[in-house]
């Protein structure tokens, strides 16, 4: 049987089309956000289209934060306090990488990987199901840095849709490199805020303890040596110290600083610290919470600093620890 060249070409075209349709669909990199931007004008109007003739939807004040969704000529398509519109690029200072508290995002894909770093080549920390809530705490070249459950990782921004404004608790001016959608600074909420509830550390019987009891227990271990991974009087690391103190008071808590910050208690501002509050710090270039201590009052906290020291007091109001302070949680 002979086939004409036309029939052969048609057959091959259909085969190729079928193969293409069978491929899984992936979002294009161009669908990812371009970062955030700070308003660089006394007041900047957001319009309904990328033109001065567009309807004015909102006005943003100087240094407020917007999410950059796309660039169209001299204009940016932006999300400003959950309203999408256009702002002129001449009045925006852009940042592709930044700690930025943008609010709650909902997963739009059937399942996405939570990555350790902002790249598909990075190890997966687990998967996050469709419609799951994540709290967005940063942007990095088209990826969102998020809190998901007790983990902090990265999800491609084209798989998350902003759904709720940032959590308003524990706003603090003490983290100058941390910004909030529509505002200037902020700190991250506990994971329980994702479900609209507070999450206090508690024992199986709902144990509750006072701040003074936490401080009294912590003081028992002043002078104990530092041991990486340690969680006993023979040697503590920072989170092991907090874990051990609270465990002795009947409270069940996570083991690492980042997980403790996500899962324990309710946020408090630095100006409202009380004895027994847990204080958290970012001490590494990763941008994650990496150190924790127990506030004792008068600007002092107890912690297990490092291998060159023992469990001891440090000053929260000046010097290194003041510069690296991130936020605080109240357990009781």
In order of their start, the domains of the chain are: 30-95 (2.30.30.40), 97-195 (2.30.30.40), 211-330 (3.90.1720.10)
Distances (CA, A) of 115 to 90, 127, 249, 281: 34, 9, 35, 23
d(CA 262, CA 189): 7
Bridge partners of residue 46, in order along the sequence = 58
CB 69 within 8 A of CB 33: yes
Task: Give pLDDT tens digits for 19-77.
Answer: 433 333 333 344 688 888 888 889 999 999 999 999 999 999 888 889 999 999 999 99
Q: How many CA within 13 A on the CB side of residue 92?
A: 25
Residue tagged active-site, from 32, 88, 134, 291: 291
Q: Is the pLDDT of residue 243 over 70?
A: yes
Question: Which one has a higher pLDDT value, 7 or 39?
Answer: 39
Q: Where are the alpha helices (DSSP H) in the chain?
A: 5-22, 211-219, 238-248, 257-263, 319-323
Instruction: State the sign of the Cα–Cα–Cα–Cα dihedral 33, 59, 178, 172.
Output: negative
Q: Is the pLDDT of residue 207 over 70?
A: no
Of 159, 157, 184, the C-alpha closest to 172 is 184
Phi, psi of 310 (to 5 degrees): -120, 175
Verify whether residue 303 is a known catalytic residue: yes
Distances (CA, A) of 272 to 69, 215, 315, 332: 37, 17, 16, 14
Task: Give pLDDT tens digits for 162-198.
Answer: 888 775 443 333 333 456 677 644 333 333 333 333 3
Which pLDDT value is given to residue 12?
55
User: In the 8-state DSSP scheme, what is residue 276?
Assistant: T
The alpha carbon torsion through 10, 15, 16, 17 (nearest 10 deg) reads 90
Question: Which one has a higher pLDDT value, 10 or 113?
Answer: 113
pTM for the whole structure: 0.52
> How many Å separate Cα 123 from the centre of its chain?
18
d(CA 68, CA 91): 13
Which pLDDT value is given to residue 34?
87
Residue 314's Cβ-count burial label (10 Å; 0-12, 13-18, 19+) is middle
d(CA 276, CA 314): 15
What is the chain's mean pLDDT, rounded?
80
d(CA 163, CA 133): 9
Which pLDDT value is given to residue 101?
75
Residue tagged active-site, from 9, 134, 303, 324: 303
Question: Which one has a higher pLDDT value, 286 or 23?
Answer: 286
Of 97, 69, 62, the C-alpha closest to 83 is 69
CB 300 within 8 A of CB 291: no
Long-range contacts of 75-82 (CB under 8 A, 24+ apart): 75/50, 75/51, 76/34, 76/37, 77/50, 78/37, 78/46, 79/162, 79/181, 80/46, 80/181, 80/182, 81/165, 81/181, 81/182, 82/162, 82/163, 82/164, 82/165
Which pLDDT value is given to residue 312?
96
Q: Point out the least confidently predicted range of 5-9, 74-78, 99-103, 264-268.
A: 5-9
d(CA 314, CA 85): 47
Task: Give pLDDT tens digits for 82-138.
Answer: 899 999 999 998 888 877 778 888 999 999 999 999 999 999 999 999 999 888 888
User: In the 8-state DSSP scheme, what is residue 28?
Assistant: -
Q: What are the counts of helices (DSSP H) followed by strands (DSSP E) for the chain? A: 5, 23
């Amino acid at each position: 049987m002979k086939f004409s060249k036309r029939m052969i070409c048609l057959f091959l075209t259909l085969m190729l089309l079928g193969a293409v349709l069978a491929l899984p669909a992936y979002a294009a990199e161009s669908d990812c956000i371009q970062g955030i931007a700070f308003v660089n004008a006394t007041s900047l109007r957001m319009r309904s289209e990328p033109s001065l003739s567009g309807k004015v939807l909102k006005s943003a004040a100087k240094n407020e934060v917007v999410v950059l969704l796309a660039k169209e000529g001299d204009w940016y398509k932006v999300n400003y306090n959950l309203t999408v519109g256009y702002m002129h690029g001449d009045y925006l200072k852009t940042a592709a990488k930044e700690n930025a508290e943008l609010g709650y995002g909902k997963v739009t894909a059937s399942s996405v990987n939570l990555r350790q770093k902002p790249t598909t080549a990075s190890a997966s920390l687990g998967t996050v199901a469709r419609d799951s809530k994540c709290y967005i705490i940063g942007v990095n070249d088209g990826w969102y840095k998020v809190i998901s459950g007790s983990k902090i990782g990265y999800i491609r921004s084209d798989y998350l849709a902003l759904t709720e404004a940032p959590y308003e608790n524990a706003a603090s001016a003490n983290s100058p490199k941390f910004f909030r959608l529509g505002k200037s600074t902020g700190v991250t909420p506990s994971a329980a805020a994702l479900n609209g509830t507070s999450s206090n550390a508690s024992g199986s019987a709902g144990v509750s303890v006072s701040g003074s009891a936490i401080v009294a227990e912590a003081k028992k271990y002043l002078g104990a040596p530092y041991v990486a991974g340690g969680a006993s009087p023979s040697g503590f690391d920072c989170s092991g110290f907090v874990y051990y103190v609270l465990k002795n008071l009947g409270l069940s808590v996570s083991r690492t600083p980042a997980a403790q910050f996500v899962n324990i208690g309710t946020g408090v501002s630095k100006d409202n610290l009380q004895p027994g509050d847990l204080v958290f710090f970012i001490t590494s270039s990763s941008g994650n919470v990496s150190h924790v201590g127990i506030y004792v009052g008068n600007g002092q906290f107890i912690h297990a600093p490092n291998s060159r020291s023992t469990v001891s007091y440090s000053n929260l109001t000046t010097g290194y620890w003041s510069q690296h302070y991130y936020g605080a949680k109240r357990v009781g």
